[in-house]
Amino acid sequence: MTLLLFNTLTGQVEPLVPIDGQTLRMYACGPTVYDYGHIGNFRTFLQVDVLRRFLKLTGVPLRHVMNITDVDDKIIRNAAVAGIPIGEYTPRYVNAFFEDMEALRIERPEQIARATDHIDRMVELIQKLEAAGAAYKTEDGSWYFRLSSFPAYGKLSKKDLSGMEDGARVDVDEYEKDSARDFALWKAAKPGETAWDTAIGRGRPGWHIECSAMSMEYLGDSFDLHAGGEDLMFPHHENEIAQSESVTHKPLARHWMHVRFLLVDGRKMSKSEGNFYTLRDLLLKGYKASAIRLALISVPYRHQLNFTFDGLAEATNAIERLRTFHERLRTTTFAEGTNPAMQAAAAKAQGEYMEALANDLNTAEARAPIFELLRASNTAIDQGQFFAGDRDAVLRVLASFDAVFDVIADRDAEATKHALAWAEAEGRMADVAPELLARQALSDEEIEALVAQRTQAKKQRNFARADQIRNELAEKGVVLEDSKDGVRWKRK
């Protein structure tokens, strides 16, 4: 099955297939590690995760490179404020980022590349650009890209810069540039700032050059897909194209994917609006990592997603239903055999599910057949028309679902535990929701003991006592389910 993916470059939905007929090579812009990741960052990374997981599900081998920008103005500024070198400042945020990826079940790309590990590659690239007449050095020792040397500039974002060349706006700090639109490849060192001594002078890289240098290093001159948030389309990706293609004279990437921004309560998320959330903020409020994942991927990547707490609650409940169903399949004993109707329903769901994802990663549409199969299965089970062979077939469909969505398998407790440990270490326990703390109050053993007591009380038909225990557990976030096979409990 071939993925049809919208290509920003052509404005069309096109098949995404490896140009070399084997491995799909992709580059996706990663984080700038100056702070903790927010849900907007993660929406993009999650949607790219959906892409890579679907490709893997369809049997496409991947080589996915993600950069980590560990040197830039904000990092330098923040490190200076903290009074430490950037090499000491960034690791905590790099580690936090990886921990957040793990919490959200975002798969690790095959290759992670840090900017500061590739300074020499960037310098080489700038030298090549100079040789090609596309780069020049200014008096202060900075290097700029000569936009006039690259007529195709703007082809990705569909911008016509012809009328803007003679910028009426003159930036006094950049008076040395040939043209106001020329962008920095290399910034000359300012006193006290982080800098590298290199063949092109002492300084630090501009933002865009790292992606050109590192994609070339790990994926070659030309690769299959380049992805990132919509804001990166211009100027970042446009600049990457200019830098890379001026040297290679080959298309940097054949396919470009851009994930739209999310809104929070109908507005762009920003600190000043007071609608800014990191993943950690939400975990401490008691929301499950899986619910955050589902909420952020359920609206297809090309649409704005309006993030709300209602939406998070909805995702929480939807996951609960999936997990309850999965548990029912796993723990119920079914008679041998199959129900042809169920076999057909499972095959249909699987087909519709895959087709929806193959259609430009339509995650919203992909959910529908899964829930339809869930209901059909529950009905069949209730009526005794569901057999061991059906269970296996339905479990296989759920496995396909989770191969991409990854929300049924429950690792929420670990993510929450890590978040709480972090809050403790950072002195942020005041931000932890009381309900979350209440939920941590009982150990599994204590819950088991109370459940046993309640079962005993029920046997003695002491329902008052049994209900008392149930209420007590409910206050601690533990929900009970009585069934023929005994009592199941779960944490909310």
Instruction: Spell out, one character per residue from 187 to 226, where the chain touches RNA: x when CB under 7 A holds, - when not.
Output: --------------------x-------------------
Residues 86-115 that bind RNA (CB under 7 A): none
Nearer to RNA, 368 or 388 (CB): 368
How are beta strands 305-307 and 262-264 bridged, if at all?
parallel
Nearer to RNA, 255 or 328 (CB): 328
What minimum distance in Å lies between the beta carbon of 429 and RNA? 27
Instruction: Spell out, one character per residue from 36 to 65, where the chain touches RNA: x when CB under 7 A holds, - when not.
Output: --x-xx-xx---------------------
Q: How far apart are CA 454 and CA 387, in angstroms?
A: 32
Structure tokens at 223: 């690769």
What minimum distance in Å lies between the beta carbon of 210 and RNA? 11
Give, to the nearest 10 degrees, the angle between helix 209-219 and helix 238-248: 50
Q: Which one among 127, 148, 149, 324 touches RNA, defined by CB under 7 A? A: 324
Q: Which one among 321, 396, 417, 492 touches RNA, defined by CB under 7 A? A: 321
Nearer to RNA, 133 or 266 (CB): 266
Whole-angstrom distance between the N-terminal and C-terminal Cα of the chain?
Answer: 38
Annotate 302-350 with DSSP letters as a single string.
Answer: TS-EEE-HHHHHHHHHHHHHHHHHHHHHHHS---SS--HHHHHHHHHHH
Window of 146-154, 309-317, 415-423, 437-445 that interacts with RNA by CB under 7 A: 309-317
Supply angle C-alpha 8, 238, 260, rounded to 5: 45
Q: How far apart are CA 240 and CA 242, in angstroms?
A: 5
Q: Which one among 2, 190, 479, 485 touches RNA, defined by CB under 7 A? A: 479
Residues 156-185 that bind RNA (CB under 7 A): 158-159
What minimum distance in Å lies between the beta carbon of 381 and RNA? 7
Q: How far apart are CA 463 and CA 465, in angstroms?
A: 5
Q: What are residue 24's phi and psi, to 5 degrees?
A: -85, 120
Q: How far apart are CA 24 and CA 341, in angstroms?
A: 38
Window of 281-289, 374-382, 401-409, 429-437 that interacts with RNA by CB under 7 A: 374-382
What minimum distance in Å lies between the beta carbon of 426 and RNA? 21
Window of 55-63, 139-147, 307-315, 403-411 that interacts with RNA by CB under 7 A: 307-315
Residue 373 makes contact with RNA by CB under 7 A: no
Q: Which of 445, 466, 468 minimizes the C-alpha distance to 455?
A: 466
Residue 353 makes contact with RNA by CB under 7 A: no
DSSP 174: G
Supply angle C-alpha 58, 26, 155, rounded to 5: 120
Nearer to RNA, 92 or 267 (CB): 267
Instruction: Spell out, one character per residue from 66 to 85, where the chain touches RNA: x when CB under 7 A holds, - when not.
Output: ------xxx-----------
Cβ(51)–Cβ(227) below 8 Å: yes
Residues 259-288 that bind RNA (CB under 7 A): 259-263, 266-269
Q: Which one among 229, 252, 420, 473 touches RNA, defined by CB under 7 A? A: 229
CA distances from 177 to 52, 153, 172, 181, 238 (A): 40, 18, 10, 8, 19
Q: Which one among 110, 221, 372, 435 touches RNA, defined by CB under 7 A? A: 372
